[in-house]
């Protein structure tokens, strides 16, 4: 394929060796083994093997998907296959996918899986096509694919308890802090190092209706992921050692008071219904001073055609809390449906979407990836699109990363349970009452699903 050149991100001062030192080394010693290039293997591989096939995919709206689908014409030329797809908001997309899978229609061939939500549930339901044999098959996996180049954290996220591989990682997405660098410079501030500093800065920036001090997700279900940061910062855990709900603790009450209180006092009106789309929009329109979310949403901030604050955004690892310094992380992957009638053809699609070349393209668009080598690619270094502190914040956050959601069967139901609680607290309910009810409902959920 001909490589399309685009503006990229800067990687000044960060080397491939540093990426490895951060724990991002590829896991070449996995059970299915490393993939060694040999002349015989190179001759055996054929991208045109499934020429004439048509694939149907469901994707959740995300900057990674926005970039990937731009190159579908190249995939179609390379393979002789056609790709039809839908890109839907995450909640709606997952609902549609679940309906399709539950019906057993076989109509979906591949999707962009949110492993932090779907990993255990979809695996237990038998909806992931295991990829181990595909990865080992020299006629299905291109000789330059290089599974060992995937980061260790990403590999762990797609590996199930039975050692099956449920998807090919696309990225590990840590949450980071976004702030108005221009306003901070005017005030002589540095990025906040503690939750107390963040709160103080948000209060001082807050001057509605022209400027709101802070924003984060308030919408039910969507709000569970940013809140994970506050839970860890205050010392909370999801589960006890014996797998019971650990929600009913003082740390959870304190985290609820802090998060709901910040949104109630310093966020724009209607934040109780904000997903990341609304939060990002308010931030890009210059209406908000401080925002935190997934690092991969930041590429739009630097696009002058979308953002009024391009060039004015600072990026930093999230500040520490009373219990320490943490960043919630979330991993996505391209997956093949176990119900697909075109499993091997769909595997070619997800393999192509996660090649080194495609990962370089994602980085050049300011979207992170699940591989090691693209971060040090010469073109990525030479054509910075994103500021240097974006890259630094990304890698620093990987060092302090923790899985952002509990690894249970029904993550979606957990997100709904806690999401309703967060909304109630934003609207004025007492944090202790909300946590007590959430603890009860979460334990009931675990009793039903974790057997």
CATH of the domain at 410: 3.40.190.10
Distance CA 166, CA 129 (A): 6
Structure tokens at 373: 């080598």
pLDDT at 36: 37
Question: Which tops the pLDDT comparison, 141 or 382?
Answer: 141
Would you say 310 and 302 are in contact if contact means Cβ atoms under 8 Å apart? yes
Q: pLDDT (tens digit, 9 = 90+) per residue, 99-156?
A: 999 999 899 999 999 999 999 999 999 999 999 999 999 999 999 999 999 988 889 8
pLDDT for 31 equals: 35
- Give the predicted TM-score (pTM) of the model: 0.77
Mean pLDDT within 414-432: 96
Q: Are residues 137 and 168 in the same domain?
A: yes
pLDDT, position 90: 87
**Mean predicted confidence (pLDDT) in 369-390:** 87
* Res. 22: pLDDT tops 90: no
Whether 9 is covered by a domain: the verdict is: no
Same domain, 435 and 361: no
Residue 375 has a pLDDT of 85
**Residue 50: closest CA among 83, 80, 18, 17:** 80
Q: Which residue has the higher pLDDT, 16 or 68?
A: 68
Contact 227, 259 (CB under 8 A): yes
Residues β-bridged to residue 291: 178, 215
In a domain, 4, yes or no: no
pLDDT tops 50 at residue 4 = no
The domain tally of the chain equals 2
**Per-residue confidence band for 178, with pLDDT thresholds at 50, 70 and 90:** very high
- Which span out of 296-310, 387-401, 424-438 was modeled with the highest average pLDDT? 424-438
Q: How confident is the model at residue 45 (pLDDT cuts 50, 70, 90)?
A: confident
Pairing of strands 110-114, 327-336: antiparallel
- From residue 173, how far is each of 63, 321, 331, 336 by CA, in Å? 12, 20, 6, 21
Residue-number span of the structural domain to which 360 is assigned: 16-172+330-403
Average pLDDT over residues 234-247: 95
Q: How confident is the model at residue 451, as a pLDDT?
A: 73
pLDDT of residue 297: 87
Exposed, middle or buried by CB within 10 Å (0-12, 13-18, 19+), for 255?
Answer: buried
Identify whether residues 224 and 298 lie together within a single domain.
yes
pLDDT value at 200 more than 50 = yes
**Rounded Cα gap, residues 317 and 339, in angstroms:** 40
Residue 203 lies in a domain: yes
Q: Report yes or no on 59 lying in a domain.
A: yes
Judge if 146 and 267 occupy the same domain. no
C-alpha dist (Å) from residue 128 to 168, 181, 209, 258, 336:
11, 43, 47, 38, 6
Same domain? For 103 and 41 the reply is yes
CB neighbour burial string for 25-45, b if at least 16 within 10 angstroms, e if fewer: bbbeebeeeebeeeeeeeeeb
Statement to judge: residues 248 and 146 lie in one domain: no
Q: Are residues 160 and 188 in the same domain?
A: no
Task: Please tell me whether residues 418 and 399 are part of one structural domain.
Answer: no
Residue 398 domain-assigned (yes or no): yes
Claim to verify: residue 87 and residue 196 sit in the same structural domain: no
**pLDDT at 267 (0 to 100):** 98
* 72 and 59 within one domain: yes
Q: Which residue has the tokens 């899978």?
A: 101
9 compared with 228, residue with greater pLDDT: 228
Quick check: is 310 in a domain? yes
Asked whether residue 3 is domain-assigned, the answer is no
Q: What is the pLDDT of residue 91?
A: 84
pLDDT of residue 44: 55
Mean pLDDT of 28-43: 38
pLDDT value of position 336: 98
Q: Give which of 124, 141, 70 is closest to 358, Cα–Cα.
A: 70
Query: What was the pLDDT predicted at 26?
Result: 37
Question: Could you tell me if 344 and 356 lie in one domain?
Answer: yes
Q: What is the mean pLDDT of residues 237-264?
A: 96
Does residue 118 lie within any of the structural domains? yes
Looking at the chain, the whole-number percentage of residues with pLDDT higher than 90 is 77
**Do 219 and 88 reside in the same domain of the chain?**
no
Residue 380 has what pLDDT?
Answer: 86
Mean local confidence (pLDDT), 81-92: 94
Mean pLDDT of the chain: 89
């Amino acid at each position: 394929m001909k490589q399309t050149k685009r503006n990229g991100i800067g990687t000044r001062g960060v080397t491939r060796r540093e990426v490895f030192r951060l724990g991002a080394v590829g896991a070449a010693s996995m059970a299915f083994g490393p993939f060694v290039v040999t002349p015989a293997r190179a001759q055996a591989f054929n991208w045109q093997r499934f020429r004439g096939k048509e694939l149907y995919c469901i994707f959740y709206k995300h900057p990674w998907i926005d970039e990937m689908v731009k190159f579908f014409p190249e995939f179609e030329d390379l393979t002789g296959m056609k790709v039809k797809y839908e890109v839907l908001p995450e909640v709606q997309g997952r609902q549609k996918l679940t309906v399709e899978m539950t019906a057993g229609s076989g109509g979906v061939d591949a999707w962009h899986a949110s492993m932090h939500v779907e990993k255990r549930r979809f695996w237990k339901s038998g909806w992931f096509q295991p990829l181990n044999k595909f990865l080992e098959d020299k006629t299905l996996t291109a000789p330059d694919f290089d599974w060992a180049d995937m980061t260790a954290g990403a590999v762990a996220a797609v590996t199930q308890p039975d050692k099956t591989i449920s998807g090919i990682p696309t990225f590990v997405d840590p949450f980071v802090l976004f702030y108005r660098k221009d306003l901070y410079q005017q005030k002589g501030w540095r990025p906040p190092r503690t939750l107390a500093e963040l709160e103080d800065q948000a209060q001082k920036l807050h001057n509605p209706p022209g400027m709101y001090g802070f924003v984060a997700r308030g919408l039910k279900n969507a709000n569970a992921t940013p809140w994970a940061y506050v839970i860890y910062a205050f010392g909370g855990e999801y589960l006890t050692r014996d797998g019971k709900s650990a929600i009913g603790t003082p740390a959870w009450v304190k985290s609820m008071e802090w998060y709901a209180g910040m949104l109630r006092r310093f966020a724009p009106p209607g934040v109780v219904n904000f997903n990341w789309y609304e939060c990002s929009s308010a931030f890009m329109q210059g209406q908000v001073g401080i925002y935190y979310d997934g690092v991969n949403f930041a590429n739009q901030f630097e696009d002058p055609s979308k953002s009024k604050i391009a060039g004015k955004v600072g990026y930093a690892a999230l500040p520490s809390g009373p219990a320490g310094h943490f960043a919630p992380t979330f991993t996505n992957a391209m997956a093949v449906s176990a119900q697909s009638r075109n499993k091997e053809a769909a595997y070619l699609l997800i393999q192509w979407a996660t090649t080194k070349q495609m990962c370089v393209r994602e980085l050049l668009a300011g979207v992170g990836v699940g591989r090691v080598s693209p971060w040090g690619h010469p073109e990525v270094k030479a054509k910075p699109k994103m500021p240097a502190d974006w890259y630094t914040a990304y890698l620093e956050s990987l060092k302090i990363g923790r899985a952002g959601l509990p690894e249970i069967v029904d993550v979606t139901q957990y997100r709904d349970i806690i999401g309703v609680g967060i909304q109630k607290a934003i609207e004025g309910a007492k944090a202790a009452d909300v946590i007590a009810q959430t603890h009860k409902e979460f334990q009931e959920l675990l009793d039903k699903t974790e057997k």
